[in-house]
Amino acid sequence: MVVTILREKMNIVAKHYRELIRVNQNRTILFFAILFPIILFSQYDTTRTYFNDSSTYIECTYLNGIMHGYCKSFYENGSLKEFDSVVNGKAVLRQKYSRSGELIAWYKDNGRRIKFKDMTEEGVLLAKGRTSWRKTKHRNWNKAGKLTYFHRSRKGYGINCSAPEDTIYPDSILIKNGWCFWNDQAVFWKNGTAVDSNGMELNTKYSFTTILFYENGQKAQLWEKKRKGKKVHFRSWDINGILIEDGYR
């Protein structure tokens, strides 16, 4: 009696697993049926660009004409100099190595946050930071270890413009044509306020502090914007620390 019950249970379990295998086989066949044409008609290429006496070169992979996969460069002795992990033309990981093989710089982008660090081959820290909408912090040093740049911001991104400064003004056609960007988005101007392509105001809660330093470590310039303020407080000093300018822009 016990043996019969166990056998029936084993048959039920076996039937259950056979059904799982059948279903998974169908899903596997469907998966490859969809994937095969994509693989068949996708074009993967690997290119090498040589420099000087052909001892140094860059090797990159492409998918349908767009950089995808990796990009590597090498020193004259054949050791790895830089390695980039690329997804659809965008570097999500970047690493730089010294001639002796030590990691001296890196950059990571997970879609929500960017982190980076840069050092000399001797291990002297030159730059370090992270960038996200919620919080950004960047610092740069010279080779003597003196801080040369400091930036901190919250709840937003800075607006970067590639046009000459004297052409940037509200409702400028140059800006509307893509001279300025906010986190890779084109910036437009409406009544003196930065907006996106849908007319939504940008950086409504944005605050930041940016400081530039002289080589001796003395503050040179400071820009500061409070969360509720629209104007930027600007101050500058000479190399001896004497205040030159103090006002709003």
Least confident among 12-26, 116-130, 153-167, 206-220 = 12-26
Contact 95, 105 (CB under 8 A): yes
Quote the percentage of the chain above a pLDDT of 90: 36
Q: Domain locations in the chain?
A: 1-41, 43-109
Tens digits of per-residue pLDDT, 40-71? Answer: 445 778 888 887 766 668 889 998 888 899 99
Lookup result for tokens 């509307």: 176
The residue that leads in pLDDT, 228 or 74, is 74
State residue 42's pLDDT score: 58
Tens digits of per-residue pLDDT, 170-212? Answer: 544 445 555 677 777 777 777 767 777 777 887 778 889 999 9
pTM greater than 0.85:
no
pLDDT band of 245, cuts 50, 70, 90: very high
pLDDT of residue 74 exceeding 80, the answer is yes
CA distance 222 to 188: 26
Contact partners, residue 229, CB within 8 Å, separation at least 6: none
Q: For residue 62, which of 40, 80, 46, 39 has the smallest C-alpha distance?
A: 46
State residue 1's pLDDT score: 35
